[in-house]
Chains A and B, each alone.
Chain A
């Protein structure tokens, strides 16, 4: 989180980020972020943040005002002068004392509202230039944000950081474009060069338009037609995990078998899963959705009131214990004091691993709002937070793949990690890319659950659009393997819940991929609380039954072995 971000958010009343730019100009805002020059001193930074946040907080850029401002830079300056003072004065009650030094009550008194300020600014009155701390207004940037869906009135959303390069290119209001002319330096293929554009069109890839230097903008999305994308892949290279003592990963990655439905047998050691650490991400504010509904739905799982006899205290007297206690007293021995009956809540003892599908297909628009990835990410965040708050062991991993030797499972939160802003930051920084080798990811998740959760009731939650696709992992083959992996997990006593949020995959296809595992498809993240309780309950019950059955089988086998030995 950047400096003063919380302060700015407090003044505006919603999440606002603060970014440093390399251009030498005053502070400005695009409605979601406040941009500061490179070499401002601490006091200057604070003042700039206060003014820009006050402008946003006081609603200075709403409605038709922007339309007027876009037309004239001079009007912007005059408006900033009047409206800046007005905004500072209007929010006086909540601004820090240092803001008072910035505002001029005389000028503030002229205007009562943003439209007043605009009228005054359009008038003939002579004003000085606004003080340096006021920075500037860039109406086009704000409007672009609104068009991009990040309007002032919209609820706060996850917002990707834009790199400085792209930022500068967007500055069309008062700064000349420093990067005009052909791009001679960057790679012609991945970058924005003329050949690159042609090649890109040729390969039907689209730039991610999000991050990275030229050459790394990663046309990694999968296409439904299976067109091979030849651009460079934007995945972090499989890094070796650090060899800490608590690290459960084998150094080389882990191999898992895969089910070959055509031959009806397993291919041993077929897929290699490489654990990847999230790259140290730039601070991303990922706004946590409201989890109250989900938490309420999950809170009753596995907890029931249990009647306990012979307690030291309780709601009622335990008659049997009392009779015994009396007998003990009469017979001269020391009586038992635990003679009460109590109702005690059972412990749920639940370990949940959330597997988030971050393959390219999740970058597609969802049936609700935003992309499938955004919906799934919200669901992953709220499930993880809700379960962690309920005291369950919970972990969050994301997966994607690039062929059978490169199934990447990214740790966002391990079972032992705290659920904090770092985890949310990692989640916020995740971007869809590459393919989906569902089976290997599920097997790895099951293995992690069994090994690291340390609890007996285990639940694997797969958040995916159900589109199993990778090199040599198409159609019926991939679906059969995913289905198989889920039933293996259940046989090991791990409950499986598959959730598809906002994806357009049809129910038949989901059934083919998720098989008899508890699965549901909802169009919006907000509908999740309604479906998860029965799903989780069903999955846990099925796993419990399976575990009992397998324990029973193991015991029967042991007995049989004993008998055989004794006979021999």
Chain B
């Protein structure tokens, strides 16, 4: 058996997930970018011993991309299952990352799957698949995401059980950063302190705040021997903003936090 992906529970999210899984309910994960949604699903898939199929949703994701399509091979047409169909047939956990990015006409295909019917109609094949035991649909959704052009349909939302995941509290985040980046706890706590400060910045031109993910990246750069301020500027400032004024302000902030380094 493989190793369980590293995930430290913050609240009751693990119990809720397992209960929903056992009750064949679909799950809606809400939370900011880089707070650990994907890692959480991986850990849960491991605990529930189900294979995980992840689909990163994007603007032009069509129903055919999820369900499957006919391809022309030689002189014949051949049906190829999409990731969702495969998950339904084999009883996998299907994780649709950033579901709001997908077009609304695409998300409608999930409806019969997410209520009591647990069916996937495939009109091109003229058949309706019943979900195999162990199938679970998990979608993630970032409510504050700045590039959100559309919201999730209410009819879709209400078919799900919602689990809210936020950035973990400082002491847990320190543990996570230390583990994932392989740095000592003291350095992890310095990085987390910086992250917490940046998260308090609002409306200064940052589209997103410093996530646990960028803090881990900074930590990993330090592991390679980079000085802490350099690593933090590369991993935190650069990805967060392109604005020269905000960049300068963030660099100053980093210098203030790591002046002893």
Contact = CB atoms under 8 A, between A and B. Distances in A.
A94 interface: yes
A315 B106 CA distance: 12
A93 B246 contact: no
Interface in A71-111: 93-98
Contacts of A285: 204
Contacts of A389: 146-147
B128 interface: no
Contacts of B151: 296
Interface in B242-261: 243-246, 248-250, 252-253, 256-257, 259-260
Contacts of A96: 193, 197, 256-257, 259
Contact of A10 (B59, B60, B197, B203): B197
Interface stretch (B29-37, B41-49, B63-71): B63-71
B70 A317 contact: yes
A390 B193 CA distance: 34
B249 A6 contact: yes
Contacts of B146: 292, 389
A345 interface: yes
Interface residues of B, number: 44
A421 B245 contact: yes
Contact of A4 (B69, B205, B245, B252): B252
B200 A11 contact: yes
A98 B69 contact: no
A98 B257 CA distance: 8
A94 B193 contact: yes
Nearest to A295: B149
A488 interface: no
Nearest to A93: B170
B72 interface: yes
B154 interface: no
B224 interface: no
Nearest to A12: B200
B114 to A, nearest CB: 22
Nearest to B244: A420
A5 interface: yes
A326 interface: yes
Given A345-B60, A420-B245, A339 B200 contact: no
A15 B190 contact: no
B202 A13 contact: yes
Given A4-B252, A421-B246, A315 B62 contact: yes
B200 A4 contact: no
Contacts of B252: 3-4, 6-7
B126 interface: no
A211 interface: no
A11 B256 CA distance: 12
A215 to B, nearest CB: 32
Given A13-B200, A287-B203, A317 B72 contact: yes
A315 B150 CA distance: 22
Nearest to A14: B202
Nearest to A289: B203
A299 B201 contact: no
Contacts of B62: 315, 343
A390 B248 CA distance: 26
B75 interface: yes
A288 interface: yes
Interface string A1-37: 1011111011111110000000000000000000000
Contacts of B77: 317
A46 interface: yes
Given A4-B252, A6-B204, A93-B170, A345 B59 contact: yes
Contacts of A299: 149-150
Contacts of B70: 316-317
Interface string A508-527: 00000000000000000000
A168 interface: no
Nearest to B192: A93
A69 to B, nearest CB: 26
A329 interface: yes
A11 B197 contact: yes
B203 A5 contact: no
B93 interface: no
B16 interface: no
A98 B197 contact: no
A77 to B, nearest CB: 27
Interface string A369-408: 0000000000000000000011000000000000000000
A1 B198 CA distance: 16
Contacts of B202: 13-15, 156
B218 to A, nearest CB: 16
Interface string A206-220: 000000000000000
A420 B193 CA distance: 27
Nearest to B169: A93
Nearest to B250: A6
A65 interface: no
Interface string A447-465: 0000000000000000000
B248 A7 contact: no
A296 B152 CA distance: 12
A272 interface: no
A156 B200 contact: no
A320 to B, nearest CB: 13
Interface in A312-341: 314-317, 322, 325-326, 329, 339
A93 B196 contact: yes
A10 B205 contact: no
B170 A46 contact: no
B148 interface: yes
A315 B64 contact: yes
A97 B257 contact: yes
B197 A322 contact: no
Contacts of A1: 245-246, 248-249
22 contacts: A1-B245, A4-B256, A6-B253, A7-B252, A9-B204, A46-B256, A96-B197, A156-B203, A296-B148, A299-B149, A305-B103, A314-B64, A315-B62, A316-B70, A317-B70, A317-B77, A322-B72, A345-B59, A345-B60, A390-B149, A420-B205, A420-B244
Interface of B: 59-60, 62-65, 69-70, 72, 75, 77, 103, 124, 146-151, 170, 190, 193, 196-198, 200-205, 243-246, 248-250, 252-253, 256-257, 259-260
The 9 closest A-B pairs by CB, nearest first: A6-B249, A315-B64, A299-B149, A421-B245, A10-B197, A96-B257, A13-B200, A7-B253, A96-B256
Given A10-B198, A14-B202, A420-B243, 4 more contacts: A1-B248, A6-B249, A13-B202, A296-B150
